Structure formats: C-alpha cells, structure tokens
Amino acid sequence: MRATITLNNKPVTVDFSKPIDISIPVVSGDANPVAWYLNPPKIEPVVEGKWVAAVAQGAVVNFNNIYYNPHAHGTHTECVGHITEKVHSINQNLKTFMFTAEVITLVPEPHNGDFVFTKKLAQRALQGKNPEAVVIRTLPNTATKKSRKWSHTNWPYLLEETAVFFRESGIKHLLIDMPSVDREEDGGVLAAHNAFWNTDGKMRMDATITEMIFVPHTVSDGSYLLNLQIASFENDASPSKPVLYAFEY
C-alpha cells in the first residue's frame, strides 16, 4: 500500500509495505536488554497445582504471565508523568501516532569524565530541519544494544542544552537508543527530561521520550514517516513499537 503526503510543500510517497521496525522485542531471560538494576523480564506459563498452561506440557492453550518493567526492559515511550508528582498517563496524552521524523547519528563527546551529546552536535545533525520527531542513533552502534546489561555503565546522555534545543526546535517526540536521555546517576536532577518537557514552564503534555530503540546501520540518516505505537496502559510509560517508513521522492 502506498500513500502520497506533502513534505516541505512537496509531494512524497510512502510505501507502507516496507516498515522499518526500530523497537527491541521483549524476550524472556538474559537475552533481553536490562537497565536500572532490575532482573531480566520473565514470560512464563501460568501454573496452578500440577497444571501448566503450555500446550507443550499438555494444556490446550499457551497462557503466559509477563513480568516486565517498561523503563528497564526494552523500547518504551514515556510522557511527562514519568517525572511529575501527578502520574499523567501516556495513554491519555499521546493521541496521534504518525509524525515526520529525522534520523540522525551522533557520536558522544567527552565532558567532565562522561560522554555526552551537545547542542552543537544536534544542530549540525539536524541541519536546520524541524521535524515533529527526532530519532537518535548513537555510535558505536552494534547489535549488542539489543541485549546489553546497562546497569552501572554510565551511558552517554544529552546535556540540558541539547534537550532545550530540541524543544525550541518544535520537536515533540524524542527517540534514542540509550536507556535514558539523562545520566544514569545524577542525583535525581533529570535535566534533559525536565528541559524537554518544560516542567518549569508550560508543560508539554503531548511530548514524548522513547528510549532503548535500535536503529540498524542499514537505515540512512534522513527524513522518514514515524508510526509511534504504544500499548494502552494507564501509566507514565508503555512498551512501544516505533516504525519508520522511508519517503520516496
């Protein structure tokens, strides 16, 4: 299925039969990525006495429980309710799901003993474009991101100035392949989260941050259509499935 939309006052075609899924699937056990000092997720059959809800063990259906934390166990999308006293729901605040997006690749720079993404890096990568969403692939970019144990690794993060730049550029949806846009341990400052959602001013209730994506090297930097889908959880965050579609000019 193809559709024609207008991008920068020019018609472009999107082929919906060619999705580019940049989410990380949730798997049971150690093959899953994990952050925030939690154990891996578990997907296991319900057990009642001697009855195990698995067809392979004699049941007529597979009937699994899933033990999972969206922030720690894979691709997830969160709203400002992640950091506010009142727990706003991602399901109530993300109401549209198709956005223009720019995929950019950033190499972190050293900063006070850490590695960070600066405003200058973001400006150079966006080249004056103002998409609704920005998808950040970070280097190095290996498939190990899909199973990495992130706890105690002090991953690269966005400086506050970078989050402000994205906000002031009109970007509503920020996607990155790290477990957080902020430093792993920052004493609760959460500078990039607060800056992007503008918690000191008029909060951006419809803006989202998606973390722990994976953008393969086969996906070029440039403009795409983003379909950002979440599960209908009344929670600050939900597991999500961001999918890109290339534009055909």
The tally of domains found in the chain comes to: 1
Which CA distances in Å does 211 have to 14, 72, 102, 175, 180? 25, 10, 16, 6, 6
Residue 42 lies in a domain: no
The answer to whether residue 105 sits within a structural domain is yes
User: Can you give the CATH number for the domain in which 210 is found?
Assistant: 3.50.30.50
The pTM (predicted TM-score) of the whole model is 0.96
* Structural domain that includes position 92: 2-34+70-248
Neighbours of 33 (CB within 10 A): 23
pLDDT tens-digit map of 31-74: 999 999 999 999 999 999 999 999 999 999 999 999 999 999 99
55 within domain boundaries: no
pLDDT tens digits for range 190-220: 999 999 999 999 999 999 999 999 999 999 9
